[in-house]
Structure 1
Amino acid sequence: MALAVVGQLTTMVLLMIVGFLLSKTGYLKDTKGLSIVLTKVAVPANMIVLLQREYSHEILIGFLKTGGGTLLMCLLGTVIFFIVGKCLKMDFPQLGLFAGGGVYSNVIFMGQPLVTAMFGAEGLIFCVAVMFASNVYLFTACSVLFSYKCGTAKPPAKMVKDAFFNLICFSAIIGVVLFVNSISLPEPLYNALNYASITTVCLSMIVIGSLLAAAKVKQVLQDKSVYIFSFFTLIVMPVITKLLMGMFLDGIALGVIVILMATPAAAALPSFAGGYGNDEKRASEYVFVSTVLSVITLPLTAKFLC
């Protein structure tokens, strides 16, 4: 299994290098358009396609448990990162970014290729559960953390609307309804969604590569807090997830949630944090270091925890 992850990570790194080179040579000056295509088209289409399979009550229960477990681990992770941040003498808004960013993992961009490499198509339905739950947590708890003392807090009604009324949640709900009722999409519609979903991995890795190209490496490597952030994100979180979720989940569902909790900080963290007036530069540093180190830690997680 670890070898499969190494092979998949090698592919992903090669695509990141493409994004890195495109950015450094000036051919790709802004990834905003690519990010919109990913979050508004490719990822939602992907979630529906992944749920196009024959209904199984056992799989549905595993799906619900995985989603609930993801919310629980995000909440627990936030508490852990908050305590660690306090020990590092952080205060808001930096503390909010540290605590929220620590559980805002790169599930949506890196989830599918990792899960496919490790568990095949059977694991992808549980990947959707983690994506859905992570998205809800992002727009609720993380929204509060990122905006606190930044003067950009949203009213509760707005937070709930952002959490549930978005294309990722809509597509997950549509996919689950189709799955539960064993409804297969017409072939032309399925093919259109499938073609859109196929672009997810390529575009997401190019976006990450472009983001890494913008980082000031020398300055980043001198800050110990980014290493502590990465240690808890890449090592502590999957270990705790394995210990706790092992009491409620088993088999593929457990493996999926563990490996996805071991992914680095999300590529969208800088723009999301910046949208709330938080430190976009620091968020980029968290993404850069955790992404680079994940090339080493993810195969180890796959070998010893999954």
Structure 2
Amino acid sequence: MNNIIFNQITVLFLIMIVGYIAKKRNIINSAVNKGFTELLLNITLPFMIVASFNFKFSRTMLVNAKNLFIISIVIYMVFIYIGGILYNRYDIGTKRVLWFITVFSNCGFMGYPIIESIYGKTGVFYTAIFNIPFNVLIWTVGVSIFTGEKDLKAFKKVLFNPGIISVAIGLIIFMFSIKLPQPIYKTLDIIGSMTTPISMLLVGAMLADVEIKDVFSGISIYYGVFVRLILIPLIVLFVLKWIGYNDMFLAIPVLIMAMPAAANTAIFAEKYNGDTSVASRSVFLSTILSGITIPLIMFLL
């Protein structure tokens, strides 16, 4: 089982390398990158989520999903608070970036593919529930971290976020045991299966935009990356283990929290006048190092 998981994670990182090379050779340019991102966020990922809810209603699955949802809310609330006090020694620009990456992992571009590669559609089902708070908080708390203000307009983005809409549709299908016609389900499934290769190609392409020589400077980034990749998943692992969680219901929260910095950290920093250099370097360094830390976390699980 460990060899299978290791091989699956290795494949994902090899696809990332292909994306990196393709961007360096300008096969994936800025226009293609933007198009892939829109395709992923608005079509392939929502389709994969909806397809993953195509189960006959089960009270056990509903209770498990509810428990994961509650765990997710508690985890985010705790680390929003902790992130606000961990980086007070740094300048405000650096603090905002490190606070953001402490709270928000790359649960979309990398989280879903890795969970699907290990646990299949059942894993995607539970991960979609677990990620609901992420989709809400990143457009509210995430914006506030960079601006220092509450953005009421962000709630509109939350309500019409494709991730939230796809989960809502999926829940209706699951709750009422709606049997999707085979052509519709196969369409959702086939297009949804494109999420994994596209997402990893995108991550690789994003990494290609960072100047390697600048990545490894600055102790503050190493501190933030250590918190993101090691400290947070270990805390979640030991607390949930102590409570009594195991198997998939332990692995999903731990692995989602073990993902590198959210891919849109740099986008938020650019949009809300944050430190884009620290943001880009944090994403790059955490993503590269996650190739080592994720298998280690899997070993602990």
TM-score by length of 2: 0.93
2:118 matched residue in structure 1: 118
Instruction: Give 1:83's aligned amino acid.
Output: I
The CA distance in 2 between the partners of 1:155 and 1:115, in whole Å, is 32
The alpha-carbon distance between structure 1 residues 120 and 29, as it changes in their structure 2 partners (threshold 3 A), is closer
RMSD (Å), alpha carbons? 1.8
1:182 matched residue in structure 2: 177
2:213 matched residue in structure 1: 218
2:261 matched residue in structure 1: 265
| Alpha-carbon distance, 1:303 to partner | 1.2
Moved more, 165-174 or 1-10: 1-10
Aligned sequence identity (%): 29
The CA distance in 2 between the partners of 1:229 and 1:9, in whole Å, is 23
2:84 matched residue in structure 1: 82
1:251 matched residue in structure 2: 247
Instruction: Give 1:300's aligned amino acid.
Output: L
Q: 2:35 aligns with which of 33, 36, 39?
A: 33
- Classify the secondary structure of the residue corresponding to 2:177: coil
The alpha-carbon distance between structure 1 residues 3 and 122, as it changes in their structure 2 partners (threshold 3 A), is same
| Alpha-carbon distance, 1:113 to partner | 2.8
Unaligned runs of 5+ in 2: none
The CA distance in 2 between the partners of 1:11 and 1:98, in whole Å, is 29
Unaligned runs of 5+ in 1: none
Q: How does 1:1-306 map to 2 (within 5 A)?
A: 1-30=1-30, 31-86=33-88, 89-148=89-148, 153=149, 155-156=151-152, 158-246=153-241, 247=243, 249-304=245-300, 306=301
The CA distance in 1 between the partners of 2:150 and 2:81, in whole Å, is 22
Is the 1:270–1:280 contact (alpha carbons within 8 Å) kept by the matching residues of 2? yes
Instruction: Give 1:126's aligned amino acid.
Output: Y
The CA distance in 2 between the partners of 1:111 and 1:215, in whole Å, is 22
The CA distance in 2 between the partners of 1:75 and 1:98, in whole Å, is 16
Instruction: Give 2:136's aligned amino acid.
Output: V
Is the 2:97–2:265 contact (alpha carbons within 8 Å) kept by the matching residues of 1? no
User: Number of aligned pairs?
Assistant: 298
TM-score by length of 1: 0.91
Is the 2:144–2:151 contact (alpha carbons within 8 Å) kept by the matching residues of 1? no
| Alpha-carbon distance, 1:117 to partner | 3.5
| Alpha-carbon distance, 1:296 to partner | 0.7
| Alpha-carbon distance, 1:35 to partner | 0.6
The alpha-carbon distance between structure 1 residues 155 and 269, as it changes in their structure 2 partners (threshold 3 A), is closer
The CA distance in 1 between the partners of 2:297 and 2:24, in whole Å, is 32
| Alpha-carbon distance, 1:7 to partner | 1.1
Instruction: Give 1:35's aligned amino acid.
Output: T
The CA distance in 2 between the partners of 1:65 and 1:27, in whole Å, is 44
Instruction: Give 2:286's aligned amino acid.
Output: S
The alpha-carbon distance between structure 1 residues 248 and 176, as it changes in their structure 2 partners (threshold 3 A), is farther
